[in-house]
Structure 1
Amino acid sequence: MDFTECYRDTVSSVAAAARAGCKERVRRLIRRGFSVDSRDNRGWNALHEAAAAGSKDCVREILSAAGKKGSTTTQDSSRGCRAYVDTLTHEGETACYLAAQRGHLAVVRLLLKAHANINQPTNDLSCPLYAAVDGGHKEVVDLLISRGAEVNGTHTASCWTCLHQAVYKGHTEIVRKLITVCHLEALDDHKITPLFLAAEYGQLECLEILVNAGANVNAQADDLATPLLIASQEGHEGCVHVLLDHGADPNLACSSDWPQLPIHAAAEFGHCRILERLIAVTDRVCDRGVGMVSPLYVAVREQSNSVELLLREGYSPDAQDCTDILGIRSPLSFALLVISYEPYSESARLLIAAGASLSEMEWIHVLATERTDLLQLILKHRWIPRPESLSSTPSRGDWTEGRTALKLQELRELVCVALGQVRFAACWLPLLLKAGLEPSLLLQPKMMEEADSEVLNYLLGFVNWSILSLPLKHILDRRQAEKTWASWPNFEPVPSLSHLCRLQVREVLGSDVLMRTDAVQQLPVPSQLHSYLQFRDIQEPTYTHSPSPPMSERIDGYRRTHRHSHVV
Structure 2
Amino acid sequence: MLIVSEQRMDFTQCYPDTVSSVAAAARSGCRRRLRRLIKKGRSVDCRDNRGWKALHEAAAAGNEECLQEILSAVDGSSQGSRAYVNSLTHEGESACYLAAQRGHLSVVQLLLKRHANINQLTNDLSCPLYAAVDGGHKDVVELLVSKGAEVNRTHTASCWTCLHQAVYKGHHEIVRILVNVCNLEARDDHRITPLFVAAQYGQQECLEILVNAGANVNTQAADLATPLLIASQEGHLACVDFLLDHGADPNKACSHDWPQLPIHAAAEFGHISILRRLIAVTDRVCDQYYGMVSPLYTAVHRNESIELLLSEGYSPDAQDCTHILGYCSPLSYALSCTSKNPYSESVRLLIAAGASLSETDWICVFLSGEKDLLQLILEHRWIAPPETLAMNSSVPNRHGKTVLKLQELRGLLCVILNQVHFAAYWLPLLMKAGLEPSLLLQPHMLEHADGAVLNYLLEFVNWSTLSVPLKRILDQRRVEKTWKPCLPFDSIPSLSHICRLQVRSVLGPDLLMRTSVVQQLPVPSPMHGFLKFSDIPEPSYTESPQLLHGGARNGNTQHIHVL
One-letter identity of the residue aligned with 2:59: A
Greater shift, 62-71 or 352-361, is seen at 62-71
Shift of 1:525: 1.0
* Corresponding residue for residue 411 of structure 2: 413
* Corresponding residue for residue 540 of structure 1: 538
Shift of 1:342: 2.4
SS at match of 1:324: coil
* Corresponding residue for residue 562 of structure 1: 558
Q: Are 1:6 and 1:39, in contact at CA under 8 Å, matched by a contact in 2? A: no
Distance 1:238 1:552, change over 3 A: farther
Cα separation, 2, equivalents of 1:105 and 1:552: 75
Cα separation, 2, equivalents of 1:502 and 1:474: 26
* Corresponding residue for residue 449 of structure 1: 447
Cα separation, 2, equivalents of 1:174 and 1:395: 62
Superposed counterparts of 1:219-230, under 5 Å: 219-230=219-230
* Corresponding residue for residue 514 of structure 2: 516
One-letter identity of the residue aligned with 1:104: H
One-letter identity of the residue aligned with 2:432: K
TM-score by length of 2: 0.95
One-letter identity of the residue aligned with 1:247: G
For residue 43 of structure 1, the aligned residue among 51, 62, 79 is: 51
Distance 1:244 1:106, change over 3 A: same
Greater shift, 257-266 or 342-351, is seen at 342-351
* Corresponding residue for residue 311 of structure 2: 312
Q: Deviations over 1:279-327 (max 9, x none)?
A: 1111100001111011111110x21111111111000000000111111
Distance 1:504 1:318, change over 3 A: same
Q: Are 1:367 and 1:424, in contact at CA under 8 Å, matched by a contact in 2? A: no
Cα separation, 2, equivalents of 1:486 and 1:463: 17
Cα separation, 1, equivalents of 2:549 and 2:297: 20
Greater shift, 452-461 or 166-175, is seen at 452-461
Q: Are 1:96 and 1:128, in contact at CA under 8 Å, matched by a contact in 2? A: yes
* Corresponding residue for residue 87 of structure 1: 87
SS at match of 1:265: helix
Cα separation, 1, equivalents of 2:412 and 2:252: 40
Q: Are 1:387 and 2:386 matched, yes or no?
A: yes
* Corresponding residue for residue 74 of structure 1: none
* Corresponding residue for residue 149 of structure 1: 149
Cα separation, 1, equivalents of 2:26 and 2:462: 106
Cα separation, 2, equivalents of 1:315 and 1:8: 75
Distance 1:126 1:413, change over 3 A: same
* Corresponding residue for residue 8 of structure 2: none
Q: Are 1:503 and 2:501 matched, yes or no?
A: yes
Cα separation, 2, equivalents of 1:476 and 1:557: 33
* Corresponding residue for residue 483 of structure 2: 485
Cα separation, 2, equivalents of 1:359 and 1:267: 24
Q: Are 1:58 and 2:54 matched, yes or no?
A: no
Distance 1:557 1:263, change over 3 A: closer
Shift of 1:489: 3.6
Superposed counterparts of 1:44-443, under 5 Å: 44-70=52-78, 80-300=80-300, 302-368=301-367, 370-394=369-393, 398-443=396-441
Greater shift, 477-486 or 233-242, is seen at 477-486
* Corresponding residue for residue 75 of structure 1: none
* Runs of 4+ more than 4 Å apart: 4-9, 393-396, 551-554
Cα separation, 1, equivalents of 2:560 and 2:321: 22
Q: Are 1:370 and 1:424, in contact at CA under 8 Å, matched by a contact in 2? A: no
One-letter identity of the residue aligned with 1:532: F
Greater shift, 338-347 or 509-518, is seen at 338-347
Cα separation, 1, equivalents of 2:368 and 2:438: 23
Cα separation, 2, equivalents of 1:305 and 1:541: 40
For residue 458 of structure 2, the aligned residue among 451, 457, 460 is: 460
For residue 531 of structure 1, the aligned residue among 529, 532, 542 is: 529
Shift of 1:418: 1.2
RMSD: 1.7
SS at match of 2:33: helix
SS at match of 2:185: coil
Greater shift, 478-487 or 286-295, is seen at 478-487
Q: Are 2:335 and 2:365, in contact at CA under 8 Å, matched by a contact in 1? A: no
Distance 1:28 1:557, change over 3 A: closer
Cα separation, 2, equivalents of 1:146 and 1:403: 73
Q: Are 2:360 and 2:555, in contact at CA under 8 Å, matched by a contact in 1? A: no
Q: Deviations over 1:27-56 (max 9, x none)?
A: 111111111111111111111111100000
SS at match of 1:404: strand
For residue 20 of structure 2, the aligned residue among 12, 22, 26 is: 12
Cα separation, 1, equivalents of 2:308 and 2:460: 43
Cα separation, 1, equivalents of 2:462 and 2:16: 100
Q: Are 2:453 and 2:539, in contact at CA under 8 Å, matched by a contact in 1? A: yes
How many residue pairs match? The answer is 552
Shift of 1:466: 1.4
Distance 1:490 1:525, change over 3 A: farther
Q: Deviations over 1:143-178 (max 9, x none)?
A: 111111101111011111100000000000000000
Q: Are 1:64 and 1:81, in contact at CA under 8 Å, matched by a contact in 2? A: no
SS at match of 1:224: coil
Cα separation, 2, equivalents of 1:348 and 1:336: 7
One-letter identity of the residue aligned with 1:483: K
Distance 1:20 1:428, change over 3 A: same
Cα separation, 1, equivalents of 2:98 and 2:337: 53
Shift of 1:366: 2.3
Q: Are 2:362 and 2:411, in contact at CA under 8 Å, matched by a contact in 1? A: yes
Greater shift, 409-418 or 241-250, is seen at 409-418
SS at match of 1:129: helix
Shift of 1:380: 1.2
